[in-house]
Amino acid sequence: MLAFLAAAAPAAFVSRSMTLAEARKLSPQQLAQRLLGEAGASREYVEASISGNGGIMIGAPGLNSIDLYERPKSAGFAGLCQVEGVHIEFSTSRYDTPGDPPHRVTDFWKMTRFAMLQPTDTRIDDGGDEQQERKCAALGPVADRTDPVFFFVVQSDKAVDAYFAMRALAKAQIAAPALRDAIKCKSYDPKWPVCANPAGAIREIPVRRMAGIRVERCADNVAWCVSATWAKSREGNETEEVGLTIHTDASRVDPPADFNVTAVDLEAGTSVDD
């Protein structure tokens, strides 16, 4: 549970309830104060993304979840922005429950998202200048962004890992032609000949739209690797998915020294939503 919220949140916070209609009438700060108490109100939330009534396939009447976001800011590395927020989950009602039933808070947790203004393969230490702060702040609203600057998740929630991952992805794209013999490619879709030119496929992936990013030790337990996925909707209910594992010769991530990409594993396939 959130340390900065749990310390001051009243023990009875989980009994606080709200309807979907009520949530849509309140400002982000009012939502934080009502649902999370004084600790939630101590943060400055400027955006709320409210989900209700379930999805197309599954009905879930009423309020389902709320994401509250602070204003995006520089993450301290050149070109890297971050935004802090909290995800709030609510109880559910039967799919056939009429109207807009009130739901209580059942859980909440901190979330951190990152965005790269411009992918870079080089190390630049100072990313906290005033111009970058203005550019990062201008990225709001955060939820459901569709333009090239996309907020992504890093498993560790650490800015230094996000920066290392973005540099590794950019380096992999630049080095792809030279790494042709060091690219292991596997495709699970015979109609998608991505392995016919894996270097070209890597160079065409929009780095800033990668998701599911992890920075962890490689199999040799010495160097560091970056894993990430990218998905693109195709006709109908099909989605093309690419998974990359980038091997580097970096012996450390923090502080972020220079490094080289030594190999890339690429897996591609097509998923179908029922």
State what percent of residues in the chain have pLDDT above 90.
52
Helix (H, G, I), strand (E, B) or coil at 200: helix
What is the per-residue pLDDT across 107-145, written as a single tens digit (0 to 9) for each?
Answer: 999 999 999 887 676 666 555 578 889 999 999 899 877
Q: Which domain holds residue 67?
A: 3-151
Q: Is residue 157 part of a domain?
A: no
- Read off φ and ψ for residue 132, nearest 5 degrees: -65, -40
Structural domains counted in the chain = 2
Q: Is residue 73 part of a domain?
A: yes
> Does residue 142 share a domain with residue 8?
yes
Most distant CA atoms of the chain, gap in Å:
61
pLDDT (0 to 100) of residue 21: 94
Give dist(CA 200, CA 264) in Å, integer: 13
> Does residue 81 share a domain with residue 24?
yes
> Does residue 190 share a domain with residue 121?
no
Where a domain ends, among 107, 128, 151?
Answer: 151
Q: Is residue 156 part of a domain?
A: no
- Read off φ and ψ for residue 164, nearest 5 degrees: -60, -45
Q: Is residue 115 part of a domain?
A: yes
Q: Is residue 122 part of a domain?
A: yes
Name the DSSP letter for residue 207.
Answer: G
The predicted model gives 57-79 an average pLDDT of 88
Q: Is residue 187 part of a domain?
A: yes
> Does residue 74 share a domain with residue 20?
yes
Residues 60 and 46 sit within 8 Å (Cβ to Cβ): no
The predicted model gives 55-81 an average pLDDT of 86
What is the per-residue pLDDT across 200-243, written as a single tens digit (0 to 9) for each?
Answer: 989 988 877 788 899 999 998 989 999 999 887 766 677 888 89
Residues 115 and 147 sit within 8 Å (Cβ to Cβ): no
Where a domain ends, among 124, 151, 178?
Answer: 151
CA-atom Rg of the chain in angstroms: 21
Where a domain ends, among 83, 118, 151?
Answer: 151
Give dist(CA 119, CA 133) in Å, integer: 17
> Does residue 114 share a domain with residue 67?
yes
> Does residue 166 share a domain with residue 146?
no
Give dist(CA 259, CA 124) in Å, integer: 13
Q: Can you read off the two tokens belonging to residue 39?
A: 């600790």
Helix (H, G, I), strand (E, B) or coil at 226: strand
Q: Is residue 81 part of a domain?
A: yes
Q: Whole-model pTM?
A: 0.82
**84 Cα distance to chain centroid:** 11
Give dist(CA 225, CA 263) in Å, integer: 10
